[in-house]
């Protein structure tokens, strides 16, 4: 058990809908990272938050947004969903943003858009 | 071209064999991660390396910073080692950390 909790584990929704994925980082970790894993693109970095503030952005679509709350949990919001958004979405946490520390991954949320 | 290249993409071996998975990267990095992903989908961090060699049980990871190359070795392989192994580069950002850049993964099957 990595200590990172993601909910829900599975999500099925229709095109055009909006969903929210939730991540609770390991106790004490200030950095949260979101990643998308699709069959054709593999794992890709989406966005990082550190102690409530956006720190780095990767290949995140404008239809997607994220935030990190004062209790350090994070939510990834996906809107106007398309079939191609079907993927595994992972959250990872680490202790600091000022240098690389070991990343701990959640079990992922499998999103299916139908 | 992906900044992180892994080989082989697929590997099938017999139980007990010595396994090597290679990873080459073209970017400057502060660390290199090896991850394991089982069919259920969850990702487990195996190693984080910035130099030299690390060992955990039957798993050994090495990195050569000058050659921008890392290897993951599995000794006395077992069917439970069957998984996708992914190498990921942590960029040298010099400040706030960026996310990882991933290889495409190596799908390993160990047959009994």
Chain A, residues 65-84, CB within 8 A of chain B, namely none
- Say yes or no: A105 contacts chain B, CB-CB below 8 A: yes
**Mean pLDDT in residue range A51-64:** 92
Quote the minimal CA–CA distance from B22 to chain A in Å.
Answer: 17
pLDDT beyond 50 at A33: yes
Q: What per-residue confidence (pLDDT) applies to A56?
A: 86
**What sign has the CA pseudo-torsion B85, B91, B97, B102?**
negative
Neighbouring CB atoms inside 10 A of A27's CB total 8
pLDDT digits (tens, 9 = 90+) for B95-106: 434 578 899 999
Interface touch B43/A48, C-beta < 8 Å? no
Contact A72, A32 (CB under 8 A): yes
Buried b (16+ CB within 10 A) or exposed e, A28-46: ebbbbbbbbbeeeebbbbb
- Using the Cα atoms of residue A25, residue A96, residue A49 and residue A56 in order, give the sign of their dihedral: negative
Residue A25, min C-alpha distance to chain B (Å): 15
Contact B97 A45 (CB under 8 A): no
**B99–A42 C-beta distance less than 8 A:** no
Per-residue pLDDT tens for B70-99?
999 999 999 999 999 999 988 766 443 457
Residue A87 has pLDDT above 70, yes or no: yes
Q: Write the pLDDT tens digit of every residue in B24-73.
A: 998 788 889 999 998 877 898 899 888 899 999 999 999 999 999 999 99
Mean per-residue pLDDT, A49-63: 91
Residue B56 near residue B47, CB atoms below 8 Å:
yes
Query: Among A89, A80, A45, A49, which Cα is nearest to A67's?
Result: A49
Counting every residue written for chain A, the total comes to 114
* Chain A nearest CA to B110, separation (Å): 23
Task: Report the SS3 class of residue B91.
Answer: strand
CA-CA distance, B86 to B101, in Å (whole number)?
Answer: 10
Whether B98 has its CB under 8 Å from any CB of chain A: the answer is: yes
């Amino acid at each position: 058990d990595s200590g990172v909790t993601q909910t829900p584990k599975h999500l099925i929704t229709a095109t055009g809908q909006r969903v929210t994925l939730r991540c609770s980082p390991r106790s004490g970790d200030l950095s949260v990272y979101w990643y998308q894993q699709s069959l054709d693109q593999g794992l890709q970095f989406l966005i990082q938050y550190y102690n409530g503030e956006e720190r780095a952005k990767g290949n995140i679509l404008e239809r997607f947004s994220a935030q990190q709350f004062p209790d350090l949990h994070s939510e990834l919001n996906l809107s106007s969903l398309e079939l191609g958004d079907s993927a595994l979405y992972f959250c990872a946490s680490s202790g600091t943003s000022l240098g690389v520390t070991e990343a701990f991954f959640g079990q992922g949320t499998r999103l299916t858009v139908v | 071209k992906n900044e992180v290249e892994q080989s082989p993409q697929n590997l099938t071996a017999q139980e007990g064999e010595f396994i090597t998975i290679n990873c080459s990267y073209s970017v400057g990095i502060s660390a290199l991660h090896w991850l394991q992903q089982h069919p259920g989908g969850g990702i487990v961090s195996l190693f984080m390396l910035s130099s030299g060699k690390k060992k955990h049980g039957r798993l050994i990871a090495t990195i050569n910073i000058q050659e921008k190359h890392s290897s993951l070795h599995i000794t006395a392989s077992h069917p439970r080692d069957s998984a996708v192994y992914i190498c990921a580069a942590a960029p040298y950002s010099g400040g706030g950390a960026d996310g990882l850049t991933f290889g495409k993964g190596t799908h390993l099957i160990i047959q009994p």
